[in-house]
Chain A
């Protein structure tokens, strides 16, 4: 992990933190996870719902920011991510998928079916969280964001172990549990952060910009 090496890196990390202090990123992640888990058995509805969220949410959050965020702390657009190491991440995800495949293959005969693939999805999804968590931790300079990858992975592993235990759970239960827990947590954290942001920052007036009638 890169730490504060030079003042410009520190400044860049500070501006990135500023740009995400409203919590809307967590609201978006939460909504996506809840949709992903709750509609997993209905791929068409799920695809439409995710597409809708992808189209509507950026517009909606921009409207919210214009109304509540920019008048309080101003508008800043950070540079696009340039430190996200795609190749190691792809290798990492591929390894996870290979390990998952091997795990399914090594399961006893009676357990080796597609249901078991769904049962290990919480663990896989948890590990996938490491990518964005590493990126955010690096860009903000705050290692605490690594918890966004660590906690879902540990809980995903726990849910997966429980769901393939002596009495296996129904195929989707673990996934539903995982996405509901983390989806709702992320959504609630996002809403609380947004509320705190709005209540602790006052609206500043542009005194040098003219009002247009």
Chain B
């Protein structure tokens, strides 16, 4: 059986973001930045790519005259991440990847 790896998720930084969002309900930019060790620019750029394909939802709100950005994994994102994990496990267990 062959499976295709999702290349968008396979990129290490985005994989880190996806895995983190997968185990929580939501987080803000600062939390993601601290956990992933990325720069603001890098994080922002990867999140935009994930948002474009609707894997994550980015919500902005105003708090104490400051913008607060909250990020959550969408249902589509969760399902893509699940498929990605399955593909990786299959690969590790000797399956083929296209």
Q: Show the binding face of A for B, using Cβ within 8 Å.
A: 7-8, 11-12, 15, 18, 66, 70-71, 73-80, 204, 206-213
- Chain A residue contacts of B67, Cβ below 8 A: 206, 209-210, 212
Which residues of chain B are within 8 angstroms of A66 by Cβ–Cβ distance?
Answer: 63-64
- 16 other A-B residue contacts (CB within 8 Å) besides A209-B66, A210-B67, A212-B65: A8-B22, A11-B23, A15-B24, A66-B63, A74-B32, A74-B33, A75-B30, A76-B26, A76-B31, A80-B25, A204-B30, A206-B29, A206-B40, A206-B69, A212-B62, A212-B67
Instruction: Give every chain B residue within 8 A of A77 (Cβ-Cβ).
Output: 24-27
Which of B20, B28, B40, B41 is A15 in contact with, Cβ under 8 Å?
A: B20
Q: Are A79 and B24 in contact (CB under 8 A)?
A: yes
Range of interface residues on chain B? 20 to 34
Choose among A11, A206, A207 the residue that contacts B19 (Cβ–Cβ < 8 A): A11
**Closest A residue to B62 using CB positions:** A212
Q: How far is the CA of A212 from the CA of B66 in the complex (A)?
A: 6
Query: How many angstroms between the C-alpha atoms of A211 and B67 in the bound complex?
Result: 7
Q: Is A78 in contact with B25, judged by CB distance below 8 angstroms? A: yes
Residue of B nearest to A8 (CB): B23
* A75 adjacent to B64 (CB under 8 Å): no
CB of B19 within 8 A of CB of A8, answer yes
Q: Is the CB of A74 within 8 A of B28?
A: yes
Closest partner residue, chain A, to B64 (CB atom)? A66
A66 to B70, CA, bound (A): 13
Q: For the complex, is B79 an interface residue (Cβ under 8 Å from A)?
A: no
Is the pair A70, B23 in contact by a Cβ cutoff of 8 Å? no
The residue on B at minimum CB distance from A74 is: B31
- Considering only CB atoms, which chain B residue lies closest to A201 in the complex? B34
Measured in the bound complex, the distance between the Cα atoms of B44 and A76 in whole Å is 17
Residues of A within 8 A of B31 (CB): 18, 73-76
